[in-house]
Amino acid sequence: MSIKQAMILAAGLGTRMRPITDTIPKPLVTIGGKAMIDYALDSLVEAGVERVVVNVHHHADQMLAHLASYKDLEIIISDEREKLMNNGGGLAKGLKLLAPGKVFVTNADLFWIGERPGVPTNLTRLAGFFRPERMDMAMLCVKLEDTTGHNGKNDFNMAKDFRLTRFADSGPSPVVYAGAIAMDTSFLDDAPADPFNLNLYFDKAIARGRLYGTVLEGHWLTIGTPEAIGEAEETIRRYRTFA
């Protein structure tokens, strides 16, 4: 099953990245010689996506200029300059710019490295894993030991059938949410028009027994503070050295 459309959540203020984000939006911060959002865009291209919505707010003019220079995808802008919608509200607004049906959702400020050449990418595997008849959302997840820059906390427990529940110390197979989802746009048809956190729909899927996850291949990076940039770049150098 292939997924041809996606949304990248890119409108956040990046407050913990100040003073860098005083002058540049967080998705355009360069890590390992590449703007963070380009890791997300490139991974979508590799998975066969043709059209992507990107929401913008903070330093939106810089985001628009950068996205206009990216030629491998049709990019549609969801403009949040007048009102920041939080991740859930931003997703609900952006999905209205896409056709009804299956969609990837990714974040602009985290990414993974270390996928093996010649095998399906993490997003390609996620698309193949997603079964809308029994899943509201399929999440890409990662083991805590395969992360750099994370806060050290697990988000979910993964059962043997890959179903996810909120993390509990006594639960099976703890995992971190890796910032990528496969879902059907219809799951957010009842979303409020006001800003809200996407956790509302994670919990809805859990309550219905329809939140599932699969574990990514490689290493996952999130860069939340200026100090984390050096650690992330050292991790990338290490992976490139042994690739």
* pLDDT tens figures, 182-227: 999 999 999 999 999 999 999 999 999 999 999 999 999 999 899 9
CA distances from 176 to 123, 224, 229 (A): 16, 15, 20
Pick from 227, 236, 164: nearest CA to 17: 227
Average confidence (pLDDT) over 2-10: 97
Residue/partner pairs of 206-209 with CB below 8 Å, 24 or more apart: 206/164, 206/165, 206/166, 208/136, 209/163
Per-residue pLDDT of 147-180, as tens digits, reads 998 988 999 999 999 999 999 998 899 999 999 9
Predicted confidence (pLDDT) at residue 80 exceeds the cutoff of 80: yes
For 5-242, CATH number?
Answer: 3.90.550.10
pLDDT of residue 242: 58
Sign of the torsion angle spanned by Cα atoms 54, 225, 231, 166:
negative
Average confidence (pLDDT) over 109-135: 95
